[in-house]
Copies of this chain bind each other. A is one copy, B any other.
Amino acid sequence: MTAHPRLSLNQATIKYATLAEALDVAVAAGYRSLGAWREPVAEVGLERAVELVAASGLRISSLCRAGFFTAQPGAARIAALDDNRRAIDETAALAAAGAPGSAAVLVLVAGGLPAGDRDVVGARGRATDAIAELAPHAKEQGVTLAIEPMHPIFAADRGVVSTLGQALDIAEDIAPEIGVVVDTYHVWWDPELPAQIARAGASGRIASYQVCDWMTPLSADSLLSRGYMGDGHVDFGAVTRLVEDAGYTGDIEVEIFRQEIWDAPYAEVAARVVSAFDAVVAPALG
């Protein structure tokens, strides 16, 4: 089997696979790249994960995910920052083990409002401060910190950074090497999308482009309301052309959280991702 050369299978799309299984499935389905997650890496330990990645011959397109640093100053915040430093080191090791063209990109999700806290502005400030604090260690390790703006549906309980424009404001405030993630699920609705993708491209900050569709009616667990590209409401041609025109040439991850997809055989999912990508994303690529 063959897959588009820029297509990367984000491991969350086959959530229940081990790292070894995910790599095997991706290779068998013709992928050249995998978007890794920390939990399956932790299951086998970083050393073994590095061996598995190196043996697979696949590129690593990113590591998901760190962040969750909106806690008030104190023990929880210190623990979050320590965990983020470990994630930076994992990103560097996995990208070094991956095939040439791997990207040492760590996806950062800000985290939601702490329990009982309604100050979203303050939470955003603490997330910004945390990224600034992590930036020197990331730079030293050659890792790009990539801020992922999350759909406003998640602003309260998962990610207080809500738009690409806001992610770029934060990145620009911190350092030239801080990146952003463009994920169609999170940003497709944004009236500012063309301007903000162009802005991200102009400063070389698009560190990852992730695709999946926005499905309605929403799943009862709205976190899982994603779908294969073409099954929902997103105009992948339009968004992909914006990302292309902004100069992004890296891997494109397919990251789908959906219970039916998680329950399907991994190989079937990997094949379906290839065909959905070919049908609605690839035609917009240069």
Which A residues fall within an 8 A CB radius of B?
Answer: 113, 118-121, 124, 151-153, 155-157, 162-163, 165-166, 169, 188-191, 214, 216-218, 220, 222, 232-235, 238
Contact = CB atoms under 8 A, between A and B. Distances in A.
Contacts of A155: 188-189, 233
A257 to B, nearest CB: 15
A250 B220 CA distance: 37
A118 B162 contact: no
A189 B157 contact: no
A233 B113 contact: yes
Contact of A157 (B113, B162, B216): B216
B113 A191 contact: no
A248 to B, nearest CB: 21
A190 B162 contact: yes
Contacts of A152: 151-153, 189-190
A189 B120 CA distance: 8
A217 B218 CA distance: 14
Nearest to A149: B191
9 shortest A-B CB distances, which residue pairs? A155-B189, A220-B220, A156-B233, A118-B235, A152-B189, A166-B191, A153-B153, A157-B216, A152-B152
B156 A153 contact: no
Contact of A156 (B118, B157, B214): B214
A222 B218 contact: yes
Nearest to A160: B189
A238 B113 CA distance: 15
B163 A119 contact: no
A254 to B, nearest CB: 18
B124 A191 contact: yes
Contacts of A191: 124, 162-163, 165-166, 169
6 contacts: A152-B152, A157-B217, A157-B233, A162-B191, A166-B191, A222-B222
Contact of A120 (B121, B124, B188): B188
Nearest to A118: B235
A127 to B, nearest CB: 12
A188 B156 CA distance: 10
